[in-house]
Amino acid sequence: MITEEQVLEALKGVEDPELHRSVVELGMVRNIKIDNDRVELDVILTIQGCPLKVKIQEDVENAIKALGASAAIVHFGSMTDEERARVAAMIRGGGNTQPSASAPNNGTVQGHGAGLNELSPLLGAESKTQFIAVTSGKGGVGKSTVTANLAVSLARLGKKVGVIDADIYGFSIPDMMGITQRPVVINDMVLPVQRLGVKVISMGFFVEDNSPIIWRGPMLGKMLRNFFSEIHWDELDYMILDLPPGTGDVALDVHQMIPQSKEIIVTTPHPTAAFVAARAGAMAIKTNHEILGVVENMSYYVNKDGEKDPIFGSGGGEKLAQELHTEVLVQVPIGQPEPMRDEERYAPSVYQENEEIGKVYMELARTVEQKCSVKV
């Protein structure tokens, strides 16, 4: 005979796919009834119409059947506002049911001249998070591609990684990483979307139907602040920021908000591209941001005969690195990720670990990790 304790124990292994906590810990399991080897129970969802209901149902049923039950019948309900508030407090507090003192402040604080470290514990003096801004002088050189792949590669090395798509007008990270969900909002807490082991936030999540955004400078600055103050990031080893092209407002905001941020400058191998990218580098130097190095993207194409063909010119990365007194971290060849059917793993711009370009990005991640662990 199956017991209630056994059912609860088994369900401790079932996670809410968005909150990444066990359904038992979150208080979602209620009303367990056992009739011989038939188990019936209620699962109370945090939000009504939770898109991942089917997944939770499957996981709960499988866990119960693994106990030897002949049938597992799941009824769904949704939490009351108070129950949701308790879950939000639990997640914020890292396990306690009381909100912790280090919890991120909500947006109401920012208008009153709050210090930056009050925006988010990530920006505080105690934070161990390494910030890396990916920048370039001009558009279309591969910043977003480098951001997405560096983030996923660091996660493959076992790191806790976040991405802020700071390209507020021209966001592309959600698409590139194959993200179709929207962030879960519990009361006033927004949880970043998790994809390929990385937590992501992008303006793209808050825009309807891909309509263009016509916003002005001050609102942009606020958006970036909101990406810290309103988002529950939890602990992170790395936060990678995908910057818009050029040296405009957002780049300046990042420099001011995150003075400890390091930078990676992306260029194509053409000497002219490197010349333009040098401006982004010069800005990093002026604002005292440490430059981790240069990523030369679209360096060459491997032709049918297996030869490296530098179709976009060569030497740009090296030239830029010299000018900025840094080094070329990697040269990324031209090529698209191999198509695959596995939706869990496939994203249009993310290379698999065992593809040639995926290996280059793993090398980049290891180099970055090594450089960030050296104290200056």
- Residue 167 sits in the site that holds ligand ATP (CB under 6 A): yes
Stretch that binds ligand ATP, among 32-40, 167-175, 201-209, 314-322 (CB under 6 A): 167-175
Q: Which of 110, 129, 135, 145 binds ligand ATP (CB under 6 A)?
A: 145
Stretch that binds ligand ATP, among 11-19, 94-102, 133-141, 302-310 (CB under 6 A): 133-141
Q: How far apart are CA 166 and CA 173, in angstroms?
A: 10
Site for ligand ATP in 21-80 (CB under 6 A): none
- Residue 315 sits in the site that holds ligand ATP (CB under 6 A): no
Which of Mg ion, ligand ATP, none interacts with 332 (beta carbon under 5 to 8 A by kind)? ligand ATP
- Residue 144 sits in the site that holds Mg ion (CB under 5 A): yes
Stretch that binds Mg ion, among 136-144, 289-297, 305-313, 337-345 (CB under 5 A): 136-144
Q: How far apart are CA 304 and CA 327, in angstroms?
A: 30
Q: How far apart are CA 317 and CA 150, in angstroms?
A: 18
Q: Which of 85, 282, 334, 372 binds ligand ATP (CB under 6 A)?
A: 334
Q: Which of 166, 298, 364, 365 binds ligand ATP (CB under 6 A)?
A: 298
- Residue 144 sits in the site that holds ligand ATP (CB under 6 A): yes
Two structure tokens written together for 290: 């440490």
**Amino acid letter, residue 242:** D
**Amino acid letter, residue 26:** L
Q: How far apart are CA 281 and CA 208, in angstroms?
A: 35
Which of ligand ATP, Mg ion, none interacts with 245 (beta carbon under 5 to 8 A by kind)? ligand ATP
- Residue 139 sits in the site that holds ligand ATP (CB under 6 A): yes
- Give 114-175 as a DSSP string: --HHHH-GGGSTT--PEEEEEE-SSTTSSHHHHHHHHHHHHHHTT--EEEEE--SSS--HHH
What is the CB-side half-sphere exposure of residue 218 using CA atoms within 13 A?
A: 1
- Residue 145 sits in the site that holds Mg ion (CB under 5 A): no
- Residue 358 sits in the site that holds ligand ATP (CB under 6 A): no
- Residue 143 sits in the site that holds ligand ATP (CB under 6 A): yes
H-state helical runs in the chain: 4-11, 53-65, 81-92, 116-119, 143-156, 173-176, 217-229, 249-257, 271-286, 316-323, 356-373
- CB-based closest residue to ligand ATP: 139
DSSP 52: T
- Residue 202 sits in the site that holds ligand ATP (CB under 6 A): no
Inter-axis angle of helices 143-156 and 356-373, to 10 degrees? 80
- Residue 239 sits in the site that holds ligand ATP (CB under 6 A): no
Query: 65, 363, 110: which is closest to 230 by C-alpha?
Result: 110
Binding region for Mg ion (CB under 5 A): 143-144
Binding region for ligand ATP (CB under 6 A): 136, 139-145, 167, 170, 172, 245, 297-298, 332, 334-336, 349
